[in-house]
Chains A and B, each alone.
Chain A
Amino acid sequence: MKNRLLWPLLALVALLLLNLVVTPSFFSLRVQDGHLYGGLVDVLKNGAPTLLIALGMTLVIATRGIDLSVGAVAAIAGAVACVHIGTSDSAGTAIVGMVLALALCALLGLWNGFLVAGLGIQPIIATLVLMTAGRGVAMLVTEGQIVTVNNTAYKQVGAGFVVLPTAILIALLVLGVVAFVTRRTALGMLIEAVGVNPEASRLAGVRSRTIIWTVYVFAAVCAGIAGLMISSNVSAADANNAGLWIEMDAILAVVIGGTSLAGGRYSLTGTLLGALIIQTLTTTVYTIGVAPEVTLVFKAVVVIAVCLVQAPKARAALSFRKVAVPS
């Protein structure tokens, strides 16, 4: 366990140190109006949506699945909430809007679960359907416009503060709940069992289908919360660009964290590290002063490096060399 997390941890520390060298004030924290500000807080705040989606993705991947539709689902959540809120500034409307959005997301998760567990379609393909159609649905909800809202309560979700930014607190709360529910009960083990062999787990009395169904719903709800955060942060719903490519970032975070795409085991701490690495990488690129779009190149390098380090074949080759050198 410790061993597997060593590399991601080292990568994160290296990135943070690089930031410290470039901007010496990176680690400094200051309190202003009872709000905490600083480089690290920014990293956490901007990384919160990715972390949330990655948490849902971790459980999906643990069952040997994948969910490509989370970005589209996030866009739908933001669109539904913003359209419902409209020009209202009341907290009640905001809450109803958010509940509606999350309920719809749960429904979309049920749909994904139905395709995967009910019809037995490969997860990549099953969720590709919603990934393609979902943005269209989000556009349909917003009628192709960028819907802006001006609601104090809604703004709290993504841009608010309770000493720390609310987004961080929400993400950490979800992380805590998931960690508790899956690691303090048998649920985590059952999820892993389904990932190793769904048929064998079913024969052993595990309700594989229900578990698969549950993880897709959970992933969609996480995506929904992340979508609300993204849209609340800018007080607008952009059906085209909200959560664009966030599914890739989330998958990346999960993989960097040492959860194998082959399913059967997962690490929530790893996912946390993975999400932090991705966000720190993005922040680093900004602070170094390279065009932000070039982040993609660094991401590509990180993915390949991490995958190579984790791939059994590459590991075998490396350890072979280690043995070969002294002799």
Chain B
Amino acid sequence: MTALSQRVPSRFLPVIATVVLFVLAFGAGSARYDGFASGQVIANLFIDNAFLIVLAAGMTFVILSGGIDLSVGSVVALSTMVTAAGLRAGWPVPLVVLAVLLIGSTLGLLMGIVIHKFDIQPFIVTLAGMFLARGLCFLISVESVSIKNSTFRDVATAAIELPGGVTITYNVVIALVVVAVAVYVLHRTRFGRTVYAVGGNESSALLMGLPTARTKVGVYVISGFCSALAGLLFSLYMLSGYGLHAVGMELDAIAAVVIGGTLLAGGVGYVLGGVVGVLVLGTIQTLISFQGTLSSWWTKIVIGVLLLVFIAVQRTMVRR
């Protein structure tokens, strides 16, 4: 163990722990159930959680900078609503996509500006954003709006064949591209480095002459953009827009990021950790559905317990 910890930098340990957890959970499923260890089950993990992966990527930026974004679930709902309502009104698909992404980013920008300019806790500001976005959904329509646009439906149902007879959807491709871009931005650009610096110690970052203001607002724009994109993926997945879509999804995203080893205090963590976190949550759901006799609420309890374990582990690491 000491040899291992000498070779592996300790900052990677939480992510490795998450990967081990994923492998264990998946291995347990494969050992217990026939047909669990198939490529398609893994592919389904990505298909069913593509939107959550995108959300977790955006959330990672915010949490790394030391903030939190509670509005993401509501922005997903708002995006599905705008998509559905826009398509129903006969808008062309590109215009709808553009409008959704613009609305999400603008909401993020506004929240970021309020958080930074007026020095109000991110928790409260994004809580207001959460109320606002949900309320706006219901302003558009109180009912669920189904999506009948043929282009949209074609993209939603299109399957991409991978070697081995495994199929994935375009959602997965988009999610993976987002993850790749997020990794690049965080580790290969000045902006990404500043995000880590601000999360580590904001005053130090400021004294070092880093653009903290731009970065702090920027992470919320990124999170808003990711939420809107996740909303588009969710509309593709559900083929409807509804104000009660994605209730509590912000908690899933935060849980995934925390389980992925990102410190909620900011400054430490990786996008890929969040992705593995999402896969862990997905595997738990798959396990419970394979089991059949366990009810869905066990998912919530298991997620809570996992959160607890990872927080406790983080706590001991920070102390050291």
Q: Known: A132-B251, A296-B135. Is A119-B312 also a contact (CB below 8 A)?
A: yes
A187: interface (CB < 8 Å) = no
With A120-B315, A300-B131, A307-B118 given, is the CB distance from A125 to B124 under 8 Å? Answer: no
Q: Does A137 contact B (CB under 8 A)?
A: yes
Tell whether, in the assembled complex, residue B118 and residue A298 are in contact, meaning their CB atoms are under 8 Å apart.
no
Contact pick for A294, options B118, B139, B297, B315, CB 8 Å: B139
B298-315 CB contacts (< 8 Å) to partner A = 298-301, 303-305, 307-308, 311-312, 315
> How far in angstroms is the closest Cβ of chain B from A227?
17
Q: Which of B122-160 contact A (CB under 8 A)?
A: 123-125, 127-132, 134-139, 142
B120 touches A307 (CB 8 A): yes
A303/B307 in contact, CB under 8 A: no
Chain B residue contacts of A176, Cβ below 8 A: none
Q: Are A137 and B301 in contact (CB under 8 A)?
A: yes
B306 to chain A, nearest CB (A): 9
Q: How many residues of B contact A (CB 8 A)?
A: 45
Given the complex, which residues of B lie within 8 Å of A121, measured CB to CB? Answer: 311-312, 315
Nearest Cβ in chain B — how far from A321, in angstroms?
A: 15
Contact yes or no, A307 B125, CB < 8 A: yes
B301 touches A312 (CB 8 A): no
- The interface residues of chain A lying within 8 Å CB-to-CB of B128 are 299-300, 303-304, 307
> A248 contacts B127, CB within 8 Å?
yes
Q: Which residues of A contact B255 (CB under 8 A)?
A: 128, 132
Report if A261-B138 is in contact (Cβ < 8 Å); known contacts: A135-B297, A140-B297, A297-B132.
no
Any chain B CB within 8 A of the CB of A87?
no
Q: Give the nearest-CB partner of A120 in chain B.
A: B315
Asked if residues B124 and A119 are in contact (CB atoms below 8 Å), the reply is no
Contacts of A296 in B (CB 8 A): 131-132, 134-135, 138
The majority secondary structure among interface residues of chain B is helix
Known: A304-B114, A308-B118, A313-B118. A299 touches B135 (CB 8 A): yes
Q: Tell me which of B119, B127, B137, B138 contacts A313 (CB under 8 A).
A: B119
A293→B118 contact, CB < 8 A: no
What is the number of residues of chain A that contact chain B, defined by CB distance less than 8 Å? 47
The 8 A CB mask of A122-160 against B (1 = contact, 0 = none) is 101110111111111101100110000000000000000
With both chains docked as a complex, state the minimum distance between the C-beta of B224 and any C-beta of chain A, in angstroms. 15
Kindly state whether residue B243 has any CB partner on chain A within 8 Å: yes
Q: B265 to A122, Cβ gap below 8 A? A: yes
Assess the A303–B124 pair: CB atoms within 8 A. Answer: yes
A residues 289-316 near B (Cβ < 8 Å) are 291, 293-301, 303-304, 307-308, 311-314
Asked whether A307 lies within 8 Å of B124 as measured between CB atoms, the reply is yes
Please name all residues of chain B whose beta carbon is closer than 8 Å to the beta carbon of A131 when the two chains form the complex: 251
- In the assembled complex, A255 has its CB within 8 A of some CB on chain B: yes
Which residues on A sit within 8 Å (CB–CB) of B54? Answer: none
Interchain CA distance A296-B78 in the complex, whole Å: 13
Q: Is A251 in contact with chain B by the CB < 8 A criterion?
A: yes
- Contact B135 A125, beta carbon cutoff 8 Å: no
B297 touches A144 (CB 8 A): yes
Contact A139 B311 (CB under 8 A): no
B118 to A297, Cβ gap below 8 A?
no
- B264 CB-CB contact with A under 8 Å: yes
**B residues in contact with A115, CB < 8 Å:** 308
Shortest Cβ distance from residue B268 to the other chain A in the assembled complex, whole angstroms: 14
* Chain B, residue nearest A255 (CB): B124
Bound Cα distance A239, B301 (Å): 13
- Interface residue? B258 (CB, 8 A): yes
Residue in A closest to B298 when the chains form the complex, CB atoms: A136
Out of B119, B131, B139, B308, name the residue touching A299 (CB < 8 Å): B131
Q: Which residues of B sit under 8 angstroms from A125, Cβ to Cβ? A: 258, 264, 307, 311
B296 contact set on A, CB distance < 8 A: 144
Supposing A133-B303, A136-B298 touch, asked if A300 and B121 sit within 8 A by C-beta, the answer is no
Q: How far is the CB of B163 from chain A (nearest CB, A)?
A: 38
Q: How far is the CB of B129 from chain A (nearest CB, A)?
A: 7
Q: Which residues of A contact B (CB under 8 A)?
A: 66, 115, 119-122, 124-126, 128-137, 139-140, 143-144, 239, 248, 251-252, 255, 261, 291, 293-301, 303-304, 307-308, 311-314
Interface residues of B (CB under 8 A from A): 68, 114, 117-121, 123-125, 127-132, 134-139, 142, 243, 251, 254-255, 258, 264-265, 295-301, 303-305, 307-308, 311-312, 315
A-B pairs, 4 with minimum CB distance: A133-B304, A136-B300, A297-B135, A296-B135
Extra A-B contacts (18), CB below 8 Å, given A136-B298, A144-B297: A126-B311, A132-B307, A136-B299, A136-B301, A139-B295, A139-B300, A140-B297, A261-B123, A291-B138, A293-B243, A297-B131, A297-B135, A297-B136, A303-B128, A307-B120, A308-B118, A308-B120, A313-B119
CB pairs A–B below 8 angstroms (5 shown): A131-B251, A132-B255, A293-B142, A296-B132, A311-B119
